[in-house]
Structure 1
Amino acid sequence: MNQPQELPIFPLGTVLYPDGRLPLRIFEPRYVEMTRECLRTGSGFGVCLILDGREAGEPAVPHAVGCSASVVEREELSPGLFNLLARGDTRFRILERRVAADGLIHAQVEWLTTEVSVSISEEHSLAPLLLQRLINEVGVGMVPMPHRLNDAAWVTHRLAEILPLPLAAKQRILECDDSLEKLEIVLRQLRSIGDFG
């Protein structure tokens, strides 16, 4: 798993986590071609939060740590226009990147270790309760199944997706290797805005 691999990179104004859902509308030619290649080969692509630049136009500079994604649903609305639902797979770190002539970023990435499932302690027991309440509000279908409400990383990732946390905090959560530490990042953010005791 530690063997570097080349991935096309899709810089976005959002952070994708393992098991996360990512709806996309694909219309820029570079990403249309990337989508066609992924669908043809069954391969994935990398999603990184934008460090500098914008989603459309000139290639943006991505953060070094991102999450690979695979297409789970697709709809070709017309030639050159796709609706996709992607799922987050594995965290990675960009080792080097290059921009192709069409503006698509290609990167050599190393895979980051999969987090060991850690149970949520009594100290953090309100976090899964909050997540369950949010799931009831946004709808069960908006959160990946199966629900793992005693898994610290899974709960943290789902809270970070649903809550309006600053993007810098969402990125720190993605980069963090310690499940309980990343849960603390979410809880600190909530305490700072007075939404969590």
Structure 2
Amino acid sequence: MDAGFDDLPLFPLRTVLVPGAALGLRVFEPRYLDLVRECGRRGTGFGISLILDGEESGSPATPAGIGTEALIEDFDVGGDGLLALRVRGARRFRIRGSRVRDNGLVMADVAWRAPDPVVDLQPEHALLGVVLRRILERIDGADRLFAEPNFDDAAWVGWRLAELLPLEPTQRQQLLQLDDPDERLETLLRLVGDD
């Protein structure tokens, strides 16, 4: 289900950003420096979408049809002189169409996906809540990174596991494309069970 339309600059990557997750980026290509300047001026985010075909630098890559809005939380210039960003995943979107600007930046016409419904963690998924608690216990500073944990919310548990488990990008993409938090948790159970 979609909830509104927008024009969104894309930053295709070989990784998947899920809602609520943090991601560090090093920015050096002129088209992405332009993207950051534009987002800063407008106070908006940009889209991160998994690359299906192509590379992260050079010619525009073909992005997956579902991605996540990235909001800039912090930036700095690294020791190598490159712009370092920390972004956080926000809303999911579906790409309805795209075009490439003269500078090589891909602009997408996106439909925003509806926010996750608030669904209690079901008994059949309780094990995933336990797994997430144990993962967080082993992360230094988890209480700062995840200041407001919600182990009763199926969507929150699913997104945090999608963020923290050692999944392949295609597996994270599969989870990102699911609208139902319970279906996402069922898929996570299958993915964890396959290992």
TM-score of the two chains, using structure 2 as the length reference = 0.92
In structure 2, what is the Cα distance between the partners aligned to 1:176 and 1:151? 16
Equivalence map 1:2-151=2 (5 Å): 2-77=3-78, 81-139=82-140, 140=142, 143-151=145-153
Cα offsets for 1:104-127 (capped at 9, x unmatched) = 100110111101111111111111
Q: In structure 2, what residue type is equivalent to 1:173?
A: L
Q: CA deviation at 1:144?
A: 3.7
**What secondary structure is seen at the aligned counterpart in 1 of 2:138?**
helix
1:106 and 1:60 map into 2 onto residues whose CA distance is 12
**In the alignment, is the contact (CA less than 8 A) between 1:169 and 1:185 conserved in 2?**
no
Task: State whether residues 8 and 34 of structure 1, in contact with CA within 8 Å, keep that contact through their aligned partners in structure 2.
Answer: yes
Runs of 4+ in 1 over 6 A off after TM superposition: none
Determine if contact 1:21/1:85 at 8 Å carries over to the other structure.
Answer: yes
Same amino acid, percent of matched pairs: 42
Q: CA deviation at 1:3?
A: 3.1
Q: 1:149 and 1:136, CA in 2 relative to 1: closer, same or farther beyond 3 A?
A: same
Q: Compared with structure 1, are the counterparts of its residues 59 and 127 closer, same or farther at alpha carbon in structure 2 (3 Å cutoff)? A: same
RMSD: 1.9
TM-score (norm 1): 0.91
Report deviation, 1:89.
Answer: 0.8
5+ long unaligned stretches in structure 2: none
AA of the residue aligned to 1:5: D
- Aligned length, in residue pairs: 193
Take 1:174 and 1:63, find their aligned partners in 2: how far apart are those partners?
11
Residue by residue over 1:10-65, the C-alpha shift from the partner in whole angstroms, topping out at 9 and shown as x without a partner, is: 10111111111111111111111111111122111001011111111111100010
SS of 2:95's equivalent? strand
Contact 1:18 1:67 (C-alpha < 8 Å) held by counterparts: yes
